[in-house]
Amino acid sequence: MVDWSGGNDTGPTPRKDAIWACIVRNGKALDPEYLRNRQIAEQRLDALIRAELKAGRRLLLGFDFPFGYPCGFARAMTGTDDPLALWDWFDQHVEDSPKANNRFDLAGRINLQFGGRGPFWMNGLRRDIDGLPRTKSDYSNPFPNRRAVETLAKGSFTCWQMAGVGAVGGQVMMGLPVLNRLRHRFAGQISVWPFEPLDKPVSFVEIWPSLTLGAPPEGRIKDDWQVEQVALTLSGLTEQELDAQLNVSAAEEGWILGVPQDKPNVTPPPLRNDCFALPAGVNWTPVDEALACLRDRLHPITASETMALTKACGRVLAGDVVARRSNPPQPNTAVDGYGFAGPVADGPQIMPLIDGRAAAGIPFDGDVPEGRALRVLTGAALPAGVDTVILEEDVTVKDGHIAFLGPLKKGANTRRAGEDVAAGDVALAAGRRLTPADLALLSAVGIAEVNVRKPLRVAVVSTGDELVEAGESAGPGQIFDANRPMLLSLIERMGFVPVDMGRVSDDRDALRNRLDQAAEQADVILTSGGASAGDEDHVSALLRQAGAMQHWRIALKPGRPLALGLWSGVPVFGLPGNPVAAMVCTLIFARPALGLMSGEGWAEPQGFEVPAAFEKRKKPGRREYLRARMRDGRAEVFHSEGSGRISGLSWAEGLVEIEDGARHVKPGDMVRFLPYGSFGL
């Protein structure tokens, strides 16, 4: 691993911000090397590559500068998108010697091709350079400021900044020609990642030590320590783990090894105008048919974004998450005890103990010879020579020996590497709404950032001339708005973002305005009231005028018709005004539809078959949902089925679902109970 530098030779004394390199071979680091200038570094790399090729070994060479520039630059300079053509270009134009180089002049010359105010900026020299701004005050960049990977790697510098602490611009310019010469000198033996398939003995990869490493230990030069750490970490990866990290596509700009690559952010296509059209000729649509219709027509409508895993609980994964590291990463002991090579035969056993021990995070450095045992503590990596562990409770220790009774199978009391999750496996699939346990799982396999959907924003509007806000004074004929607080909190509990759009009277213009506002602020609109076909039912009327409304007459109790439509492309669920029906329709219809639009897929509530504690006769032709709760292992239902009885909704802890056909339920018969929790509440 090489820490590069764009600066000049300052002499033989090792110092920071110079070129440093460290070789790790078979897991052991050689002393880091101080390479005082690029000419020496190039000779050293040349000799290393030559020696390794001769010995028939493979070499992963990492350099801490971008292998490509933000997209568009390669084409502007060379006429092709091929970043290696840009390498050739810099190779031809860079002049470099231990005491001087032309990087600032070259940056200025390039800038002049684009108007002289960018893309490069900052001049590290005293003399002014035509075309190279000293500060960003008059800066203008015709290209993106950052590569895609740099938007994910927080704290990274852009390759346009030519000077200043941490700036990488000079390093790129002064590094690419060296790599380019090596690439041509050893043609056919070197692959450049991620532009070329890694099928050659030598691979060049881009690294960025500060991505994961902080300050060095006291007394150590940062660059010297960092190259050693990166080399050790990379050499400690399994082939699968390294493979998972190398598996990125970044055609033009290159990528930093170790930054997880997420699916690009996409804005999903809008819903189709006819998405709520029901099959013609059906008068009362069965619940399952209506649900199948929503399931077929709707799709995710939220864009994705990348965020820290620690902040992502409750968010929906936009893509599969692949484990970057196995869990456990190496074979280890599951108990406190003594480790040795298994298996062990039947009968009493005595084994000499060797000095030392292995504990979690403090591996034993050495081999455990055949026939001997080592003290091991839970979580410790199994040292060479140990594959089996005996529980400390089953052992007598005396005079440097352990005694115990066999037999013991090989592998007893140990955990295999990757037995939980293997690197490269899909740890969690797209659509997963992240739970606290998921955060543990993803952390364990090395995921710090996830690509998730933006939360679905759901607007709630209550309609009706009779409505006033609880707490206000209510005149005769007025009632308090009960639906809005309920719907807003249902939305929130189900994992979406509620947007309160207030109450609106039964006035077409007012409702039209409110729907316009809601459509601007939210991804979906829920209205309650005014959804039937009556005179005052303005939600239906407006949606019908807008041309994208469907009246859904669903064979369902409780629930009058649902009005579904698109308002300025935003789906509207016109729920019944009746609070009981509004809640049931939200749980049964809106919730799976919202889930689908939010990217989590179609979620069926998980019900349980339980004995009924009630009797009920039901006619065929529609499905019924009864307010219910479990007591003593049986489902009770609310004493009244009156759809105005809000107290029953509150009394209940779930719904009993009775199928579409005729049924006579007697106490003790099995019925399907859907706890509120099964709707994500």
Interface ranges with ligand AMP (CB under 6 A): 462, 464, 466-467, 479, 481-484, 528-532, 576-579
Tokens of 398: 């005396």
Rounded distance between C-alpha atoms, residue 579 and residue 489, angstroms: 14
Q: What angle, rounded to 10 degrees, do the helices at 287-297 and 591-598 form?
A: 10
Inter-residue contact 106 to 173 (CB < 8 Å):
yes
Q: Counting contacts by CB under 5 A, is residue 177 touching Mg ion? A: no
- Helix (H), strand (E), coil (C) string for 564-599: EEEECCEEEEEECCCHHHHHHHHHHHHHHHHHHHHC
User: What is the nearest approach in angstroms of ligand AMP to the Cβ of residue 586?
Assistant: 13
Query: How far does the chain reach from its first CA to its final CA, in angstroms?
Result: 51
Tokens of 593: 């539809």
Q: Counting contacts by CB under 5 A, is residue 529 touching Mg ion? A: yes
Give the other-Cβ count within 10 Å of 440's Cβ: 9
Who's near 636: CB < 8 A, 6+ residues apart? 613, 614, 628, 629, 630
Amino acid letter, residue 417? A
User: What is the nearest approach in angstroms of ligand AMP to the Cβ of residue 323?
Assistant: 48
Give the other-Cβ count within 10 Å of 366's Cβ: 14
User: What is the nearest approach in angstroms of ligand AMP to the Cβ of residue 503?
Assistant: 7
User: What is the nearest approach in angstroms of ligand AMP to the Cβ of residue 577?
Assistant: 2
Q: Which residue pairs from 152-157 have beta carbons closer than 8 angstroms and sit at least 24 positions apart in sequence?
A: 152/259, 152/260, 152/262, 152/306, 152/449, 153/208, 153/211, 153/256, 153/259, 155/210, 156/208, 156/211, 156/256
- Among 602, 622, 506, 620, smallest CA distance to 559 is for 622
Q: Output 461 or 593, the one with its CB closest to ligand AMP.
A: 461
Residue 349 contacts which entry, Mg ion, ligand AMP, none (Cβ below 5-8 A, type-dependent): none
Q: Output 70 or 464, the one with its CB closest to Mg ion.
A: 464
Residue 483 contacts which entry, Mg ion, ligand AMP, none (Cβ below 5-8 A, type-dependent): ligand AMP
- x/- letters, 488..527, toward Mg ion (CB under 5 A): ----------------------------------------
Q: Output 59 or 531, the one with its CB closest to ligand AMP.
A: 531
- Among 436, 438, 390, 449, smallest CA distance to 414 is for 390
Q: Name the one range near Mg ion by CB under 5 A: 91-99, 255-263, 268-276, 457-465.
A: 457-465
Q: Counting contacts by CB under 5 A, is residue 329 touching Mg ion? A: no
Q: Output 359 or 474, the one with its CB closest to ligand AMP.
A: 474
User: What is the nearest approach in angstroms of ligand AMP to the Cβ of residue 644?
Assistant: 7
User: What is the nearest approach in angstroms of ligand AMP to the Cβ of residue 467?
Assistant: 5
User: What is the nearest approach in angstroms of ligand AMP to the Cβ of residue 478?
Assistant: 9
Q: Output 400 or 476, the one with its CB closest to Mg ion.
A: 476
Residue 428 contacts which entry, Mg ion, ligand AMP, none (Cβ below 5-8 A, type-dependent): none
Q: Output 381 or 467, the one with its CB closest to Mg ion.
A: 467
Residue from the set 530, 565, 571, 599 that interacts with Mg ion by CB under 5 A: 530
Kindly write down the DSSP assignment for every residue of 619-637, as one continuous string: -SSSEEEEEEEEETTEEEE
Rounded distance between C-alpha atoms, residue 649 and residue 579, angstroms: 9
Q: Output 467 or 594, the one with its CB closest to Mg ion.
A: 467
Residue 579 contacts which entry, ligand AMP, Mg ion, none (Cβ below 5-8 A, type-dependent): ligand AMP
Rounded distance between C-alpha atoms, residue 207 and residue 257, angstroms: 5
User: What is the nearest approach in angstroms of ligand AMP to the Cβ of residue 520?
Assistant: 23
Tokens of 172: 């790129």
Q: Output 576 or 599, the one with its CB closest to Mg ion.
A: 576
DSSP 210: G
Residue 304 contacts which entry, ligand AMP, Mg ion, none (Cβ below 5-8 A, type-dependent): none
Residue 528 contacts which entry, Mg ion, ligand AMP, none (Cβ below 5-8 A, type-dependent): ligand AMP
Q: Counting contacts by CB under 5 A, is residue 654 touching Mg ion? A: no
Q: Output 21 or 572, the one with its CB closest to ligand AMP.
A: 572
Residue 590 contacts which entry, Mg ion, ligand AMP, none (Cβ below 5-8 A, type-dependent): none
Q: What angle, rounded to 10 degrees, do the helices at 169-185 and 83-93 form?
A: 100
User: What is the nearest approach in angstroms of ligand AMP to the Cβ of residue 560?
Assistant: 7
Q: What angle, rounded to 10 degrees, do the helices at 38-54 and 169-185 form?
A: 40
Phi and psi torsions of 648, nearest 5°? -70, -35
User: What is the nearest approach in angstroms of ligand AMP to the Cβ of residue 502?
Assistant: 11
Residue 531 contacts which entry, ligand AMP, Mg ion, none (Cβ below 5-8 A, type-dependent): ligand AMP
- CB-count burial class (<10 Å; 0-12, 13-18, 19+) for 55: exposed
Interface with Mg ion in residues 563-622 (CB under 5 A): 577
Q: Output 529 or 595, the one with its CB closest to Mg ion.
A: 529
CB-based closest residue to ligand AMP: 577
Q: Output 415 or 553, the one with its CB closest to ligand AMP.
A: 553
Q: Name the one range near Mg ion by CB under 5 A: 409-417, 426-434, 447-455, 458-466.
A: 458-466
Q: Output 302 or 532, the one with its CB closest to ligand AMP.
A: 532
Residue 327 contacts which entry, Mg ion, ligand AMP, none (Cβ below 5-8 A, type-dependent): none
Instruction: Name residue 616's beta-bridge partners.
Output: 665
Instruction: Quickly list H helices, 114-236.
Output: 148-152, 169-185, 222-235
Amino acid letter, residue 349? Q
- CB-count burial class (<10 Å; 0-12, 13-18, 19+) for 245: buried
| SS3 (DSSP) at 173 | helix
Kindly write down the DSSP assignment for every residue of 427-452, as one continuous string: EE-TTPBP-HHHHHHHHHTT--EEEE
Rounded distance between C-alpha atoms, residue 570 and residue 548, angstroms: 10
Q: Output 349 or 462, the one with its CB closest to ligand AMP.
A: 462
User: What is the nearest approach in angstroms of ligand AMP to the Cβ of residue 297?
Assistant: 24
Q: Name the one range near Mg ion by CB under 5 A: 272-280, 297-305, 396-404, 460-468.
A: 460-468
- Helix (H), strand (E), coil (C) string for 221-276: CHHHHHHHHHHHHHHCCCHHHHHHHHCCCCCCCCCCCCCCCCCCCCCCCCCCCCCC
Q: Output 574 or 605, the one with its CB closest to Mg ion.
A: 574
User: What is the nearest approach in angstroms of Mg ion to the Cβ of residue 679?
Assistant: 25
User: What is the nearest approach in angstroms of Mg ion to the Cβ of residue 531?
Assistant: 8
Phi and psi torsions of 334, nearest 5°? -90, -10
Q: Output 620 or 644, the one with its CB closest to ligand AMP.
A: 644
User: What is the nearest approach in angstroms of ligand AMP to the Cβ of residue 576?
Assistant: 5
Q: Output 386 or 584, the one with its CB closest to Mg ion.
A: 584
User: What is the nearest approach in angstroms of ligand AMP to the Cβ of residue 473?
Assistant: 17
User: What is the nearest approach in angstroms of ligand AMP to the Cβ of residue 552?
Assistant: 14
Q: Counting contacts by CB under 5 A, is residue 464 touching Mg ion? A: yes
List contacts with Mg ion (CB under 5 A): 464, 529-530, 577
